[in-house]
Structure 1
Amino acid sequence: MSYAIIGFGKIGHALARAFARKGIEVAVATTRDPASFAADAAAIGPTIIPTTVAEAVKADVIFLAVRFESHPEVAKALPDWSGKTVVDAMNTQAPLEDLGGLPSSAFVARTFTGASVVKGFNHLVAAVLDQDPAVHGGRRVVFLASDDDGGAAGKIGALAQQLGFAPIQLGGLSEGGLLVHGRGKTWGHLIFKDLIAFGR
């Protein structure tokens, strides 16, 4: 299984550190030349590989850590996203009417044609996501939601466990997933909640 993070701002850095803590290789990409952020990647760890977006989208699992309004440009990197799992770690304050009344991740799923989209890792602020998820004898919780019938949320849940987190499955994007979606000026009830699971 290969992994990539597209977007190397605060969330992208935090996700990269999660991979680096476990020694798991992950590509990181932005619209910039990889040489321009190679030093930042190297400072996180040797398993963080700077690359181009065109190369990053060859990974099996791709984390979206760009600004929400930038995701349609990322989607253009492939004509068909079938076989890919896309983890939507973005948040938006776009009103629902601008998204056709859809939860933001359902909107993203329409953009990434054929992909298995999982909402996840977005409810923690970057400074918290950046920390070791092993805290106070427990593990920091990450919430996951997906409409995929092929087990994409379970696959990302297994990855979350490998990274040291405690995954909680919320169901579909239009049901439990709304709990972690930004919706205009109204945020889902689980956004920015820093929860710890014990004995899991």
Structure 2
Amino acid sequence: MDSLISTSTLTRKNFMSYAIIGAGKVGQALARAFARKEIEVALASRRPPEALAPVAKAIGPTIIPKSLQDAVKAEIVLLAIPFETHKDVAKAAKSWQGKIVIDVTNAYGVAPEELGNLPSSVVISQALPGAKLVKAFNHLAAKTLAEDPNVKGGRRVLFLSSDDESAAARVAALIEQLGFAPVGLGRLAEGGLLIQARGNTWALLIFQDLFKKGE
């Protein structure tokens, strides 16, 4: 496992636009993490914005309900959706070029043969041409993800994996901004397999609730 990613030399871009696609338990848990730090983020699903308004209001004023078509215009998009719906979301954007997409899905129960024996994140990446994909936020249960990450005298760990180092660094900076401790696992087909379900088997690091002591 790689050591903790250092983001001290990164330029924090607080003006980045964010969107969470998916308003289920995981999507709402992510929204709570953003709300805790008063970071504005769009919340969208296949339902219209007005249907999401009560959910967004209950979480906090920085959670903005939007249509799926508007939400995918964000610079960083978090996919908190059932894996099998990723192709529908892919069609919502005119272009994914240059966007950072954070894959929060878990392809549990999907036969490896259906994925061409590729990691599920690679399959999603292929459906989003031009996007820089990072696997993150998926290894914790929604209830745990929604909790304050500052516990037990340290910060809750979030693993991430990507084939794009610059995108991984940007997502690591976001993870730190949300109060978690980012730990990089390398490329999607290498260390990233530790946080990707395969068939009916959960990967080794999924549901591992770990903490980093100190700063």
TM-score greater than 0.5 by the shorter chain = yes
Match of 2:188 in 1: 173
Q: Which amino acid aligns with 2:138?
A: N
Name the TM-score, length of structure 2 as normaliser: 0.91
2:160/2:185 contact within 8 Å kept: yes
Corresponding residue pairs, total? 199
Q: Give how far 1:136 is off.
A: 1.4
Q: Which amino acid aligns with 2:80?
A: A
Q: Give how far 1:79 is off.
A: 3.7
Match of 2:84 in 1: 69
Pair 1:98-2:114 in alignment = yes
Pair 1:140-2:159 in alignment = no
Counterpart pick for 2:102 among 70, 87, 101: 87
Question: Higher strand share goes to which structure?
Answer: 1
Pair 1:188-2:194 in alignment = no
Q: Give how far 1:96 is off.
A: 1.1
Counterpart pick for 2:72 among 57, 73, 82: 57
Could you list the structure 1 runs, at least 4 aligned residues long, displaced by more than 4 angstroms after superposition: none
Matched residue of 2:66: which SS?
A: strand
The higher-RCO structure (CA 8 Å, 6+ apart) is 2
Deviation by residue 1:78-105 (Cα, 9 ceiling, x = unmatched): 2431110000001012111110110000
Instruction: Return 5+ residue gaps in structure 1 as ranges.
Output: none
2:73/2:93 contact within 8 Å kept: no
Counterpart pick for 1:113 among 129, 132, 137: 129
Match of 2:52 in 1: 37
| 1-structure distance, mates of 2:201, 2:53 | 37
| 1-structure distance, mates of 2:94, 2:118 | 23
Name the TM-score, length of structure 1 as normaliser: 0.98
2:158/2:181 contact within 8 Å kept: yes
CA RMSD of aligned residues (A): 0.8
Match of 1:22 in 2: 37
Q: Give how far 1:199 is off.
A: 1.6
